[in-house]
Amino acid sequence: MTNYTKGQPYNQNTIEQPGTSKKVMLIFPPDWYPSKPYLSLPTLTAFLRRAGHRVVQKDVNLEMYDWFFSENCLHFILEKIPKQLERLKKVSRDQGFNDEVRELRQALHGCTLPYFNMLAKKAESAKAIVRSQEFYNVDRLEWAMNIFREVMYTISLVYAPARICMPPMETDLTYKLFISSDILAAVQDTQVNVYRDVYNHILKPAIEEEEPDIIGISIALSQQLFSSMTFCSMIKEQFPNIHITIGGNTVTRLRDILPKTSNLFSLFDTVIMYEGETAFLQLINAIGTDRDFSTIPNLIYKDSTGIHTSTVTTAEDMSALPPPDFYGLPLDKYFVPERILSYLSTRGCYWGKCEFCDHGEGYTAGYRAKNIDQIIKEIAYLKNRFHVTHFHFPDESYPPALFKKLTKKLIESDLQISWSTHLRFEESLLDNKVWKDAEKSGCRFLHMGFETGSERVLRLMGKATTIKQIQQSLEFSSRHGVWNHVMGFFGFPGETYEDAKSSMQFLENNKEYVHSIGFGTFDLTKYSPIMKNVKKFGVTYNKNPDWDLALNYYFTVKEGLGIEDAEQVLGEFEQNHYRGWDLKIYIREYLFLYVTHFGTNKLPSLQCRIQ
């Protein structure tokens, strides 16, 4: 059983009362890249432990990949091959041979015991590389990543027609995430649903050992709905007395639909919207009592009369929250050579005016921040408590004033950490002293919202940023050893091809200062500000009634680039952009570690080839 007494909590002023303590298992489900703990579990854990509850943190995503790349898993896969071949034989008999079935059968026949033994050794070596100093040899790291892909391809053969991939976001179970009936069908599909086997090998034994009273599942991305609903279904079937609640960003965005999907809601008991600390604690304390669930904030629940949404909401006081508690997570098993922990100083976005952005949907309150002394104290605590010097601050956008205070305080306190965060291009940051302090304080990697190189489109977006500010910020960043990852997209309503070309030309002109890029096309999301004023932007959108879980919509525009046009422009950009941005390794935590390790943002060894 888990030992809960080892180590000292940050705040020992608990409110535990005799006989009231419950055991809670918190689950982070697949799929996510296993480079560091996702912050939702440690944040809730700290809050619940302070209140006297016993918490088990279960990063099933990490444990799944650790299992996938092991001899145990690959021999399990080998044993499934005869059944898959028999299925394909039946498919061929019923439907006739086709190229896809023929290629799959051929690949399966090549999966011999010697091949699996060799692949298992390579997989274990690949894991050892990403967890050791060999990680910093880019050729060895690239070899390890290729082995991960080979293993995932091999695993996929027995779950075909599903594709189980690395990186995870390319995984495809052949069902649609935006249709609840498809998710329910995927849950029961024993052929393609790899998460059923993940449950049996990883989660079920943990539940049997820990015997939790309550299970909470944090769903950050829609992609995690398949695994999460699979886990919920199997837990309900095998452990019917355990209360299951789900929460997270994706769940919050589905808050109006979930009460209408009774079949989906049958897989779990409650839903927590928005911020979860106070709501989850009150739910835990209420279970087994006669408290009216309608009085619990941020809650969707069911009773004998149906599914209901509480009218009470709550938001957290940042200054009253304890720092995240990572104790109980297998920190040395993440796929990195140095531990990276996340810490959040703010909630909400201090700017909050971008027409395309719906990040604020995760909160009922606006922007809030901890004071700088508390931030420094808690970072120092985490550094010492968990023996870590690498931090990611995943604030939606780090406020300029707080950014400057942070860099100065980190220097004064001599914490000697390396860190990354997300930053807007701001006039108030255009000072060499600001960037000198950032460099000295350990800032090594910044995600920066470029969006577009057209000032006209920037104004349409509500960015209030100029091209000159962007250019100067990139120069400062580059000059002071900070890697900048520039994010943008094509197809914002009203953007023309000439505007898109401005983005391409700006980046080409400044390629000396831009280290990496992440580009896509505009999505019209359900809760974006633009949805509240579609006429202003000349947008007409279509809601398909069958796509009940859709979080973005197909749309047309009166002027400028449409969806298909934007895809063509993106294709043009991908074909013609500066090849120095094509990197052998593109995982953000890996880039952060490389810049920190080598002490420079000039790393030509990471580039595939330079134009």
DSSP 3-state of 105:
helix
Q: What is the pLDDT of residues 117-167, one digit of tens each?
A: 999 999 999 999 999 999 999 999 999 999 999 999 999 999 999 999 987
Residue-range domain boundaries for the chain: 23-61+192-309, 66-178, 338-600
Strand segments, DSSP code E, in 328-435 are: 340-342, 346-347, 368-369, 390-393, 418-423
pLDDT higher than threshold 80 for residue 114: yes
Grade residue 610 by pLDDT with cuts at 50, 70 and 90. Answer: low
Q: What is the pLDDT of residues 408-425, one digit of tens each?
A: 999 999 999 999 999 999
Name the CATH architecture for the domain at 23-61+192-309: 3-Layer(aba) Sandwich (3.40)
C-alpha–C-alpha distance, residues 55 and 4, integer Å: 8
What was the pLDDT predicted at 166?
85
Q: What is the dihedral of CA 543, 545, 551, 557, to 10 degrees?
A: -10
Q: What is the pLDDT of residues 512-539, one digit of tens each?
A: 999 999 999 999 999 999 998 999 999 9
C-alpha–C-alpha distance, residues 183 and 571, integer Å: 31
What was the pLDDT predicted at 94?
78
C-alpha–C-alpha distance, residues 80 and 7, integer Å: 43
Q: Regarding predicted confidence, which is higher, 597 or 90?
A: 597
Question: Global pTM?
Answer: 0.94
Grade residue 93 by pLDDT with cuts at 50, 70 and 90. Answer: confident
Q: What is the dihedral of CA 101, 107, 112, 116, to 10 degrees?
A: -120
C-alpha–C-alpha distance, residues 287 and 279, integer Å: 12
Grade residue 7 by pLDDT with cuts at 50, 70 and 90. Answer: very low
CB 355 within 8 A of CB 452: no
Residue with token string 């279904």: 233
Q: What is the pLDDT of residues 329-376, one digit of tens each?
A: 999 999 999 999 999 999 999 999 999 998 888 788 889 999 999 999
Q: What is the pLDDT of residues 166-221, one digit of tens each?
A: 877 789 999 999 999 999 999 999 999 999 999 999 999 999 999 999 999 999 99
Grade residue 503 by pLDDT with cuts at 50, 70 and 90. Answer: very high
Instruction: Just give the CATH number of 338-600.
Output: 3.80.30.20
H or E element in which residue 594 lies: helix 588-598
Terminal C-alpha separation, the chain: 56
Considering the chain, what is the average pLDDT of its residues?
94
Q: Where is mean pLDDT largest: 33-42, 100-109, 158-167?
A: 33-42
The residues, any chain, with a CB within 8 Å of residue 33's CB and separated by 6 or more, are 167, 168, 335, 587, 589
CA distances to 25, 176, 411, 461, 521 from 34, in Å: 19, 24, 31, 33, 26
